[in-house]
A and B are shown apart, each in its own frame.
Chain A
């Protein structure tokens, strides 16, 4: 029984690390997109995807570290990403993030 648990654990660990590596490669490729551009919307979208990859990364690390304390971080990244991307989009569209006069 304990052997089974142990092998399960090591399997989870291996899978996590493989996933981390792939996500990292994905982040690196997205970074290439952020750097190269060519336009700012390209960068914004790439940044947004990097954020999603980060969520995954944090989740995998949480599995690896066997902790539940990092769940907040995952949720926070989700919210910030949404807000950040909207702000960026608005900035790229109108040049301002917060409109001065609403009426």
Chain B
């Protein structure tokens, strides 16, 4: 199983070398090896006696993250879809992509995606699952933006990236919460502890996060907006990612976790509610599209909504219907995308208004499209698989469990009607898709190319898929007991006993619903031009895309405004902000932790002598005067008084070395200031507003106050005795000197001195460099 996940990755590493020979052999043929072999390997698991397989490979055992691969019925269904459709899509892409394209890139991304999808569906460890989940987002981003010279491609790729990664990150949050609650990282162990999770306080948060992850990935309302824009990808990508595999990852996630959450009423309300809304909205909007792939994108959205709704119902029939429809949807939607690609390839356009009457020109594609769309519409014919799952869907909407919540009760009664509503529009767009393309008038003059039937290689993949549609349609029980029953029991968490799928159940309500769909749908389709004005009213100018664009652009403008509001380039502003922040944080901390202590004990405080007072008073007067002095030279000279006063304080406090140094430094500093001031231009003094000045005053007083408070506090709380005695006693014996300060500087703590010397050296070099190495005028 490790092989299944990592073989595509391994192959992806080799593709750049193999793609050099692309003019002799199309790179796709090498790629075909991976999905085909994996498909053949996993097909052997199908059967009545299927038992879940668990394989474990260590990855980060200390964090309880192991590559646990768990193959149960659900995984098996998805693995077969991914590998099977992967093989067909690869085969199709060989004929679709010309050799002049950058094939190496394309297939590397595709294999990356394939491996990521295998990882998602096989992982039992939530963090491994998340890793692969993000890998699908990234590889899908790369594939959507494959033709990166197009602006729309880049837009679509970015949009899908933002939305799916948003969901992915919230999923990580859910996984972390689940891990914390259950103390395990394994999904099947979490399912065993479902009661613990359901009784947890974090349950609403977990469910929201998981739903966000699943709904963004599966393009559920209102996160569906990325999928139509993802149609800028090459058609094989659309067929593979955006119909059969990646968009079903969210479905997979909900199915995987439904044994835990399905007993919760909100699971039903949210999943079914969102699913049914997505179904209706997607199918409603699909009729409005003019681009073939646009129709298919909205159709995918609506079909995913239908599957999601069935998962939300949680009844046996509904789960089976969901599983069945996952399979059916993958077959017919994959083929329809490929046919849309063929039409695009052979006529040069995907605009349905320009197409028409292609049936006689492309008979094989037209036949395939007929089968695909009729199956999608759920037309009651015994050789179309779409009908069966649609009927199971109708059946399941009618037999929902009674609930206690009033809101859920309303939803329960509304669901059958909404289901019929959505299905009517599904019928309409399906008919529109096939008849608009292949019937009606020919507009050959409007087509960029002269249309003709596609090469046989291109038709093979959709033909196989349509063959699947028909085979499942004719013999629905072929996949029932041996295959889908295992999937359903994996989702239900208990053994599912399959019922025989029959075409004719008698004249019962689901069939009546189907007939209503076909009847009303036909009428709506025929008079489509008459009522299409309704789209002017709903959605009209409303759309989720606008919301998305507003959010993305709004974030840019708002953050730019916020940044510009405080990053105005003024050092004064920054200084004021820094000091204010320090004041608020420090005072807040002192206040909250009760950190301010005053201890005026005579033992710890020395007597105040007259000389000290006098010197301090002199310094204070000089310092305050400096602020109010207008003359620069005078300000410097007065500041010099403060410096000299400090040196006298050093003298009084018996620090001759410090006093010496301070005197010299002060003198040099004053000299340097004078040197600078000589070169300053004579600018007019700036006049600041009173408000600006008073804010500065408050901040400076506050900062001074803060420092005073900290100093008093620090002095009042001496917890340990000083180590000064050690230096005083040992400086002669150990350091060989009687000047304790100097012994400390060069012997005891010589390293500090070394680096202070370094600082001075750097400063000197810097000044020399600044003066000497001036760039020439005009140079940057």
CB within 8 Å of B: which of A16-38?
17, 20-21, 24-25, 27-28, 31, 34-35, 37
Contacts A31-B622, A69-B656 given; indicate if A80 touches B674 (C-beta within 8 A).
no
The residue on B at minimum CB distance from A35 is B625
Residue from B611, B638, B640 within 8 A of A61 (CB atoms): B611
Question: Complex Cα distance A76/B633, Å?
Answer: 24
Report yes or no: B614 in contact with A28, Cβ–Cβ below 8 A: yes
The residue on B at minimum CB distance from A64 is B611
Q: Which residues of the partner chain B approach A24 to less than 8 Å between Cβ atoms? A: 611, 614-615, 618
Report yes or no: A97 in contact with B644, Cβ–Cβ below 8 A: no
Q: Which residues of the partner chain B approach A43 to less than 8 Å between Cβ atoms? A: 633-634, 637-638
Q: Which residues of the partner chain B approach A44 to less than 8 Å between Cβ atoms? A: 637
Shortest CB distance A70–B (Å): 5
Report yes or no: B618 in contact with A31, Cβ–Cβ below 8 A: yes
**A7 at the B interface (CB under 8 A):** no
CB within 8 Å of B: which of A48-88?
50-51, 54, 57-58, 61, 65, 67, 69-70, 72-73, 76-77, 80, 83-84, 87-88
Q: Which residues of the partner chain B approach A17 to less than 8 Å between Cβ atoms? A: 610-611
**B621 at the A interface (CB under 8 A):** yes
Report yes or no: A37 in contact with B634, Cβ–Cβ below 8 A: yes
Among A37, A67, A70, the one with the most B-chain Cβ atoms within 10 Å of its Cβ is A70
Report yes or no: B663 in contact with A73, Cβ–Cβ below 8 A: yes
Shortest CB distance A87–B (Å): 6
Residue from B617, B634, B674, B675 within 8 A of A28 (CB atoms): B617
CB within 8 Å of A: which of B659-718?
659-660, 663-664, 667, 670-671, 674-675, 678
Question: Complex Cα distance A35/B629, Å?
Answer: 8
Q: Which residues of the partner chain B approach A37 to less than 8 Å between Cβ atoms? A: 631, 634
Q: Which residues of the partner chain B approach A51 to less than 8 Å between Cβ atoms? A: 644
Q: Which residues of the partner chain A approach B638 to less than 8 Å between Cβ atoms? A: 34-35, 43
Report yes or no: B618 in contact with A27, Cβ–Cβ below 8 A: yes
What is the interface of chain B mostly: helix, strand, loop, or mixed? Answer: helix
Question: Complex Cα distance A37/B647, Å?
Answer: 24
Question: Complex Cα distance A83/B674, Å?
Answer: 14
Report yes or no: A50 in contact with B644, Cβ–Cβ below 8 A: yes
A-B contact count (CB 8 A): 99
Shortest CB distance B39–A (Å): 86
Q: Which residues of the partner chain A approach B654 to less than 8 Å between Cβ atoms? A: 65, 67
Q: Which residues of the partner chain A approach B674 to less than 8 Å between Cβ atoms? A: 87-88, 91, 97
Shortest CB distance A59–B (Å): 10
Report yes or no: A31 in contact with B652, Cβ–Cβ below 8 A: no
Q: Which residues of the partner chain A approach B652 to less than 8 Å between Cβ atoms? A: 61
Report yes or no: B671 in contact with A84, Cβ–Cβ below 8 A: yes
Q: Which residues of the partner chain A approach B361 to less than 8 Å between Cβ atoms? A: none
Shortest CB distance A71–B (Å): 9
Query: Given known contacts A69-B656, A72-B660, what 12 new A-B pairs fall within 8 Å (CB)?
Result: A27-B618, A28-B617, A34-B622, A35-B625, A43-B638, A54-B647, A61-B648, A73-B656, A73-B660, A80-B664, A87-B671, A91-B678
Which B residues form the contact surface with A (CB < 8 A)?
610-611, 614-615, 617-618, 621-622, 625, 629, 631, 633-634, 637-638, 640-641, 644, 647-648, 651-652, 654, 656, 659-660, 663-664, 667, 670-671, 674-675, 678
Which A residues form the contact surface with B (CB < 8 A)?
17, 20-21, 24-25, 27-28, 31, 34-35, 37, 40, 43-44, 47, 50-51, 54, 57-58, 61, 65, 67, 69-70, 72-73, 76-77, 80, 83-84, 87-88, 91, 95-97
> Sorted from nearest, which 6 A-B pairs have the closest CB atoms?
A24-B614, A80-B667, A35-B625, A69-B656, A43-B637, A73-B659
